[in-house]
Amino acid sequence: MEVRLLESGYKHNEQFYKDFLDDQIQLKDEYFTNEVVHLDEAPHFPIYIAQGSEAEKKDLFMEAFRVISHSYLDTDRDVHLNELFWHSLLITKRDYLLEQYPKIREGISHFNNIVLKKFDWENYIYKCVLGAQYINDAIADQEWREHYYTLLVDNLDLYNYIIKYEIFRNEQFLINILDIIYELDLSKALKAKITGREDLGKDERVGRRVIFEFNKSYPVIMSPLLEKEDLKPIFMEYMSYYDGSVVYS
């Protein structure tokens, strides 16, 4: 499959949105550059996972991880970590997207939020591509990859804050953190709301504050380079700041 890359100017463009709905984009060369990306296959996968029960969302994330891992990571990182590539690919999936996400038809704001969403830590494709890339690079065995995909999805709030900070976008740091959570059975505690700390806001969670503490520690650059056993006591110390049941010594 050849994916034609979009020309600049397609974002927040009412005519582009209308042409998407009317299935006219592929007929208008002015929307495209002369550059193409070659893919052996381009299967559908969940691109927007904001609705449904926690179990349903977990299933969708796992499906996305598996499809991305199998079909999209063979391209150069400059491709599969590139916003323009994903936007260019997604507009070829019009029928699938309108079927799966009918809100797209309700207005350009939904189109921008689902199809043309900024490619950063809040974008579902970005979360899955980066997570799959890191896990696959670090882990060769498919069963263990599934183990880490599951751990990541079960600790999505904390993962979001890891990839929010560029310094922590590191495969070994992610694997070490997931191992610590698994070995010490911390997932439930890390997802818990922080109580008695109105200064932190209304919906602060223990896990995201732990990553915040890593980010503000000095020297922050050391944390992603630490071995797991060196990282573990620091992780527990930061967790104890926000969870009174954690005894740090």
Mean pLDDT to the nearest integer, 195-216: 84
CA distance 165 to 15: 35
pLDDT tens across 113-126, in order? Answer: 999 999 999 999 99
What is the pLDDT at residue 223?
81
165 belongs to a structural domain = yes
Helix and strand totals (H; E) in the chain: 13, 2
170 belongs to a structural domain = yes
CA distance 88 to 69: 19
131 belongs to a structural domain = no
What is the pLDDT at residue 243?
79
Residue 3: CB atoms within 10 A of its CB come to 20
pLDDT tens across 1-53, in order? Answer: 999 999 999 999 999 999 999 999 999 999 999 999 999 999 999 999 998 99
Helix axes 171-184 and 156-164, enclosed angle (nearest 10): 150
What is the pLDDT at residue 202?
75
Name the band, by pLDDT with cuts 50, 70 and 90, for residue 193: confident
Mean pLDDT to the nearest integer, 135-140: 96
Q: Is the pTM of this model over 0.85?
A: yes
Query: Mean of the per-residue pLDDT values for the chain?
Result: 93
5 belongs to a structural domain = no
Q: What range does the domain containing 185 cover?
A: 155-249
Mean pLDDT to the nearest integer, 55-60: 96
Name the band, by pLDDT with cuts 50, 70 and 90, for residue 139: very high
Mean pLDDT to the nearest integer, 79-106: 98
Strand partners of residue 205: 193
Which has the closest alpha carbon to 216: 160, 155, 152, 161? 161
183 belongs to a structural domain = yes
What is the pLDDT at residue 201?
72
H-type alpha helices, 108-170: 108-114, 124-138, 142-154, 156-164
Name the band, by pLDDT with cuts 50, 70 and 90, for residue 141: very high
What is the pLDDT at residue 249?
53
Name the band, by pLDDT with cuts 50, 70 and 90, for residue 194: confident
**DSSP three-state, residue 43:** coil
- pLDDT > 70 in the chain, percent: 96
What is the pLDDT at residue 220?
66
Judged against a pLDDT cut of 70, whether residue 244 lies above it is answered with: no
Number of domains into which the chain is organized: 1
What is the pLDDT at residue 173?
94
60 belongs to a structural domain = no
102 belongs to a structural domain = no
What is the pLDDT at residue 14?
97
CA distance 174 to 203: 24
What is the pLDDT at residue 221?
66
186 belongs to a structural domain = yes
